[in-house]
Amino acid sequence: MKRKTTQQKQQQPQQQQQQVQTTKKTKNTSASSAPTQTSKKQQQPKQTKDNDKNKRPKKKKRMSQSDNASEDGSSYETYDSNEEDVYEGEVDEDGERHGHGSLYTLDGFIMEGEWVHGTLNGKGSLIYEDVLIEGQYVDGELSGHCSEFTLEHVLTFEGEYVSGERNGKGVLHNIDGSRIEGVWTDSILSGECTFYYPDERFTIKGTWEDGEFVKGTAGTTISEFPINIDTNVVRDEGTSSTISTNPTLPDLFEEYYLYVKESNIPNSGEGLFAKVDIPADRLVSYYNGMRIDPKIADDRDWEFNRNTMYLDKETYIDIPPEWSTSDKYCASLGHKANHDLNNNTVYRSCYHPRFGDIKCVRSIRAIAKDEEILVNYDYEEKDKPQWYKDLESSRPEGQPAQRN
């Protein structure tokens, strides 16, 4: 039984704090809000010639080295001024920005680098909200090879810029360890691209349009792995009424790593097992389903919420009871992982070209071949079903609760 509607604590590994996805309608790039970056336009701020170095902008926040330090130990500051742009740095004899300096703009940008008579030219950086871009400025705009990071200096994108926007070849790095290699036009991912699963051994090569996957073909570099399923893949994001257009088409990645059989936990039905050894800190399985309003799940009987998973404040992922067995739905298998406080996996956010932004099951230690995949449902008190409460009350001290 599963009603995983509580928001899981997203303690991501240090090198995976940034979620980068492939839709195109948000400007937020924070890890916790599952940001989108395939089409975000990096608009350059207007470079005014205000040289009053005596005016300090109002401090909005200072980021400590421990929380937001780069690899070299430096930290970043962001400022908010309700007066005017502020420049700190070297100037020429005419008072124009010349040499190394930083410009704090009224609309929240921080531009740092080498200035030539009032205009950035050469190596520099741009910070806006929680995105750091490092690269080359040409006549005040980022052009050439650039890299994008979180403020913790976790790489999220690297590729070509022209006139302040992604234009040309690039690589998008996702929080789950996967990546997309493709071509951007005016900051929008389109054309022939390749999605690499986190293990680097499986791919989906296909077509993206307007920042979203359309169709492609799954493949693998594992020559000894026999492919016995249809490898044609189309975008198949669940809706409020449809779980999948092809609910029994397995994912090639999961087909290699996992299998389903009766759980080792009594009265738990089907369970999820490792077909091969799986390393620690590795994406194990995807958790896709229908998209429903949280109010629907909150208002109905718990029996209908056995496979309901928090996605975000506005959306739950749901696998209704009629789709819960693997003969009905096996397009993703994350919902087959049963509960155990001695878990070997946790829930995390992820991206999959076929399903879009979903949840996944990720290993927290090495998992041996034929070992059952187990996850702690970690219910909040208000969401605990009766079976979970019964297990808690009947469990001897120090012994974990076990049951689906």
d(CA 333, CA 319): 11
- Among 2.40.50.140, 2.170.270.10, 3.40.50.1220, 2.40.50.100, what is the CATH number of 3-13+236-394? 2.170.270.10
Predicted confidence (pLDDT) per residue in 341-395, tens digit: 899 999 999 999 999 999 999 999 999 999 999 999 877 777 777 777 777 776 6
Is the pLDDT assigned to residue 284 strictly greater than 80? Answer: yes
Three-state DSSP at 22 gives coil
d(CA 16, CA 155): 9
Set 87, 128, 286, 377: catalytic member: 377
Set 347, 351, 352, 379: catalytic member: 347
Is 104 a residue of the active site? no
Q: Which are the contacts of 404, defined by CB distance < 8 A and separation ≥ 6?
A: 1, 2, 263, 265, 267, 268, 269, 271, 338, 339
CB 105 within 8 Å of CB 45: yes
Count CB-CB contacts under 10 A for residue 69.
Answer: 16
Is the pLDDT assigned to residue 402 strictly greater than 60? Answer: no
Q: Which are the contacts of 179, defined by CB distance < 8 A and separation ≥ 6?
A: 171, 172, 173, 195, 196
Set 335, 351, 352, 379: catalytic member: 335
Query: Which of 127, 48, 45, 117 has its CA nearest to residue 84?
Result: 48
Set 153, 173, 339, 352: catalytic member: 339
Set 287, 310, 316, 379: catalytic member: 287
pLDDT value for 336: 97
Is the pLDDT assigned to residue 149 strictly greater than 90? Answer: yes
Domain range summary for the chain, segments of one domain joined by +: 3-13+236-394, 43-163
Predicted confidence (pLDDT) per residue in 157-189, tens digit: 999 999 999 999 999 999 999 999 999 999 999
pLDDT value for 396: 56
**Mean pLDDT of the region 13-28:** 34
Confidence of residue 397 (pLDDT cuts 50, 70, 90): low
Q: Which are the contacts of 226, defined by CB distance < 8 A and separation ≥ 6?
A: none
Is 173 a residue of the active site? no
d(CA 386, CA 384): 7
For residues 291 and 31, the model is more confident at: 291
CB 383 within 8 Å of CB 392: no
Strands 374-375 and 131-138: unpaired
**The length of the chain, given as a count of residues:** 404
Is 377 a residue of the active site? yes
pLDDT value for 201: 96
Is the pLDDT assigned to residue 82 strictly greater than 80? Answer: no
Is the pLDDT assigned to residue 71 strictly greater than 90? Answer: no
d(CA 261, CA 330): 13
d(CA 289, CA 313): 16
pLDDT value for 267: 84
Kindly tell me the sign of the dihedral angle through the C-alpha atoms of 242, 203, 372, 276: positive
Is 335 a residue of the active site? yes
Kind plus residue range of the DSSP H or E element containing 255? helix 252-257
Phi, psi of 114 (to 5 degrees): -95, 125
